Amino acid sequence: MAESTSNEYRPPSGHDEDFVEAVDKDFQCLICHLPLKEPVQTRCGHRYCKECLDEHIKRQQSQGQSLTCPFDRQNLDKEDIFPDKATERKILSLAIRCPNVGCKWTGEVRLKEVSTHTKNECRLTMISCPYVQMGCQAKVQRQGAESHLELATRLHLDLVCIKLNNTKVLLDKTRDELKNAMELLKSSSVQHTNAFLWRIDGFSEILKQAKNEGKERIYSDPFYTKTETDGFGYKLRVFIYPNGIGNGKNTHMSVFITIMKGEYDAILPWHFNKKVKLTLIDQDDDPEERENETKEVEGRNIPSFSRPTTEENTGIGFDCFVSHEKLKSQHYIVDDTLFLQVEIRSPPY
């Protein structure tokens, strides 16, 4: 066994404590030469950190060697190795000091306070400026942080302005990208059909609101017309005045078709010259008894059928499409739902 001597130990780079008291050499690991951590002792009387000796054992086993003491090479069994609690208690009772030069703080190893002191309390610890996220790269002692903030006020204000401006640019870019994505999603979900069917649920409440609350009209989803070979076409939508408008006010449901600004307008012929057939479907159980209400609008050279210069043209249709009395007398409304169909036909009709 090595002769017991006394020398002061200073931990290598990466340790955040320093021992105030000299660490007896008997309390140092014979492998890493640092103060013992979870010390174990062999039958031959040598002390090691548990982790250091475990690594030594694994290395010997991987090489197919017999287990031996790293210090004197005596053969060992695992039963020859045992925890050295007495030595551990002595090491844990040693005093340590803050590693910051000039700090007089001390404490016991067992209390494990040094990291908390160094990180959160010591006035000599180097810390980043509170404006580090704004871009200030200064590192100062904790005790000098207030002085740094006072001296660098202008710098910090400039950094904050730059950060805010960059954040605004990023938010604007993100908003634009999101808007484009939403427009693309919306566009991709629009139907391409020449036979659009609009289901209107909760019609009694819709009519009530039109009469009492001034919600005069409601719109269908937009849809695109198409040909047999092409997916593109004119963008249209239907809208109704449940309580009527113009000559149909308070007595009829008014129905209109409108041409909207679409993504294919530049390659389409103008004016819109197709026939639009608007049909309110009778939902009688017997198809032979059904009396659909149908009216037609024929495309011609008028502003409502020209290429849109705004989001949509003025609608064209019928103030007196169907009377409220007829709506109730037939099976147009079933389960508080009605169906309005739009058919598009190209000339010759």
User: Is residue 238 over pLDDT 60?
Assistant: yes
Cβ neighbors of 328 (< 8 A, separation 6 or more) are none
pLDDT at residue 317, rounded to an integer? 97
Binned at pLDDT 50, 70 and 90, residue 1 comes out as very low
Beta strands 223-224 and 191-192, pairing class:
parallel
Per the structure block, which two tokens stand in for 42? 């062999």
pLDDT at residue 41, rounded to an integer? 95
Binned at pLDDT 50, 70 and 90, residue 21 comes out as low
User: Is residue 225 over pLDDT 70?
Assistant: yes
For the chain, first and last CA: distance in Å?
A: 113
Give residue-wise pLDDT tens across range 243-272: 999 999 999 999 999 999 999 999 999 999
- Tell me the chain's radius of gyration from C-alpha atoms: 43
How many other CB atoms are found less than 10 A from the CB of residue 267? 8
Instruction: Return phi, psi of residue 123, to 5°.
Output: -75, -10
Instruction: Report residue 69 CA to chain centroid gap.
Output: 57
Q: What distance in Å separates the CA atoms of residue 344 and residue 259, rounded to the nearest whole number?
A: 13
DSSP H or E segment with residue 151: helix 145-151
User: Is residue 14 over pLDDT 60?
Assistant: no
Share the mean pLDDT of the chain: 88
Mean pLDDT (whole number) for 18-47:
85
Give residue-wise pLDDT tens across range 46-96: 999 999 999 999 999 999 999 999 999 999 998 999 999 999 888 888 888
Per the structure block, which two tokens stand in for 312? 């949509």
